[in-house]
Each structure stands twice: as C-alpha cells, then as structure tokens.
C-alpha cells in the first residue's frame, strides 16, 4: 500500500505534519509534486493524488484544503475514486469500512486531530459486510453506466 497526500496552499502546514507522522510510522507515503502558491487550485491537487491512488487498489489518498469540501468534490470526479470529506475518527472509519472510500479529504482541523483521523482511516479494514459491498457496488455500477435500479 502506498499513501498519496496533497494539499492546496491552505493545507500545506497540515500536509507536512501528516506526511512526517506517516513517514515516522514507516508508511510508503508520497506528497504531490505540484508546486504550492497563494493562487494554486485545489482541483489540481485532487486530480494528482487520485491518479496515483488508482495505480493500485490498495493505495489510499489524503487531501487537504481550507475545509475539505471543494477538494473532495474534485476528487469524486475521478472515475473509481470514492472520496469522503470527514471531520472525525468515526467518519474516517465509516468512510472506509461502510462506503469503500479510498481517499479522504478535510481541512481546518488541528494537526493532532488530523493525525488521529488519518491513522483511523489507514487502520480501518475495507468493507466486508454484504450490505456495504452491495451499496458500494451500486455506486461503481452507476459510475460505469450499468446501474438501472431506479
């Protein structure tokens, strides 16, 4: 598993804290190679991280912007990405274990809280319960134009 992390200019400090924490814990983690500036655009970081997450189904992504909303919307435009904007450890658990999220997004969270959220996301097992798998599959099928259940 590789972990990819990216942030616009409003999330650089938090990105650095999380990156250092994950490196210290021994994770294979990569920061977006895009350059930050005061007028950078969060969709670019979302697309860069997501394209790398898609290289292997075990990969995970972490996105940070001012509040996590815009960057999560951009990430969810990438086919096969399921990004959840989260604000708590419980959100991180449910995003991965119930909803099949492979990317999380947030912003405006203190560093120590963000690290706990990231740790929870990484440590949470993927969905295995039939009801969750069924729902995730409906999302995948809809994205591929194959869901006609409505």
**pLDDT recorded at residue 139:** 94
Active-site residue 65, yes or no?
Answer: yes
DSSP 8-state code for residue 30: E
What confidence score (pLDDT) does residue 147 get? 84
In this prediction the pTM is 0.96
Nearest to 16 by CA among 115, 106, 91: 115
**pLDDT at position 148, please?**
78
As a whole number of angstroms, the distance between CA 27 and CA 35 comes to 23
Catalytic residue among 9, 21, 94, 98: 98
Domains and CATH numbers, the chain: 2-143 (3.40.1400.10)
Phi, psi of 60 (to 5 degrees): -130, 155
Contact 107, 64 (CB under 8 A): yes
Per-residue exposure over 46-72, b if at least 16 CB sit within 10 Å of its own CB, e if not: bbbbbebbbeeeebbbbbbbebbebbb
pLDDT in tens, the chain (150 residues): 999 999 999 999 999 999 999 999 999 999 999 999 999 999 999 999 999 999 999 999 999 999 999 999 999 999 999 999 999 999 999 999 999 999 999 998 999 999 999 999 999 999 999 999 999 999 999 999 998 777
- Active-site residue 83, yes or no? no
- Which residue is catalytic, options 50, 65, 93, 94? 65
């Amino acid at each position: 598993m590789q972990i990819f992390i990216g942030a616009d200019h409003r999330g650089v400090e938090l990105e650095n804290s999380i990156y250092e924490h994950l490196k210290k814990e021994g994770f294979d983690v990569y920061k977006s190679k895009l350059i930050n500036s005061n007028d950078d655009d969060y969709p670019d970081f979302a697309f860069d991280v997501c394209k790398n997450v898609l290289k292997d189904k075990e990969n995970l992504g972490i996105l940070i912007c001012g509040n996590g909303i815009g960057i999560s919307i951009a990430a969810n435009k990438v086919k096969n990405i399921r990004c959840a904007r989260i604000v708590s450890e419980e959100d991180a658990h449910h995003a991965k274990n119930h909803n099949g999220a492979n990317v999380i997004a947030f912003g405006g969270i203190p560093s120590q809280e963000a690290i706990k959220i990231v740790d929870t996301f990484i440590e949470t097992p993927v969905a295995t319960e039939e009801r969750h798998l069924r729902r995730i599959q409906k999302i995948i099928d809809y994205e591929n134009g194959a869901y006609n259940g409505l």
